[in-house]
Amino acid sequence: MEVPEVHGRLLIRDSYREWMNDEQRKIWETYYDSISADFQNANLSGKALLEWKFQRYMEDYLGVILSVDENIGRILEYLDKEGLTENTIVIYTSDQGFYLGEHGWFDKRFMYEESLSMPLLMRYPKEIKAGQVSDNIVLNLDFAPTFLDYAGISASNGMQGQSLRLITEGVQPLDWRKSMYYHYYEYPHGWHFVKRHYGIRTDRYKLIHFYNDIDSWELYDLENDPNEMKNLIYDMNYSQITAKLKNELYSLKKSFGETE
C-alpha cells in the first residue's frame, strides 16, 4: 500500500493546525509530537515501516470516525431531551468515501466503489418511516432540492438534482435517474496525483475513462465483480454493453454542458 511519506507530524498536514485555537493546537501537538518521537527512535524501514504507516493511518481515521459517532449521539440525545425529535430533519452524509488499503490505496477521488459511495441517512419521524432502504441512485446534487422541498421552497430551474422527498416517503418517482456521471479533473493537485477521469455508473455496470496524458478505459460488472478487480473493457462478451454505456455516458456529459 502506498501511503504518504512521514513529514513533520506524520500523516497529518500542518494546514489542519490553522483551524485550531491555541488550546486545541497545544493538545494536538502534544499528542502527535510524542508519536513522532517514538517513530524517530524506532528507525523503521522496509516492511516494518510500511506496516507502521498503515497502522498509524488506520488509528487516526478510526479515531475520527469514533468521534463523529459519539457526537452524532450527543445531538440526537439533545433533540430527544428538548422534545424536538418529531419535528427535526436529521441528515447524515459525508464527503467521498475513503480507501483504507483497498486497491492498494489511501485517500479518495478515484471512481471505484469505496470512494464513489457516500453514506446517506435521514431521520424525520413526522414524515419518514424508520427502517426504509432505497437502492435508487442518489447524488449530492439532490441535497439542495431536497432541503428546499422540506422547507416549502421551489428549487431554481438552474439547479441540477432532484428532491428525495418522494423516495423517503416510500414512493418510486417514475422519472428517477438510471445512471450517474462522475468526473475528477484536478490533476496534478497537491499531493493527490489522481489521474483525470470520468465515467458512468448504472445499477450494475461502471465504465471509466482515464484521459489527458493517458487514454485508458475500464469496465466493471458490479454484480459479478463487486470489488472491481477484473477490467472487462476488452472482453467481447461485453462489447454491446460497453457501446451502450458509452452512448449514455456522452449523453450525460452533454446534459451537464460538458465538453472534452
Spatial distance between the Cα atoms of 128 and 85, rounded to a whole number of angstroms: 12
Cell of 222: 458490479
User: Residue 5 pLDDT more than 70?
Assistant: no
Let me know: does 143 contact 93? Beta carbons within 8 Å.
yes
Q: Which residues pair with 220 in a beta bridge?
A: 206
Of the chain, the percentage scoring pLDDT greater than 70 comes to 93
User: Residue 192 pLDDT more than 90?
Assistant: no
Q: What is the pLDDT of residue 177?
A: 96
Spatial distance between the Cα atoms of 56 and 4, rounded to a whole number of angstroms: 11
Contacts of 50 (CB under 8 A, 6+ apart): 1, 3
pTM of the model: 0.83
Query: What beta strand segments (E) does 128-255 contain?
Result: 179-184, 197-202, 205-210, 216-221
**pLDDT tens string 239-256:** 999 999 999 999 999 988
State the chain's mean pLDDT as an integer.
89
Cis amide linkage into residue 226, ω under 30° from 0? no
**pLDDT tens string 132-146:** 999 999 999 999 999
**pLDDT tens string 87-116:** 999 999 988 888 888 888 877 899 999 999
Exposure string for 145-173, b = 16+ CB within 10 A, e = fewer = bbebbbeeeebeeeeebbbbbebbeeeee
Q: What is the pLDDT of residue 17?
A: 61
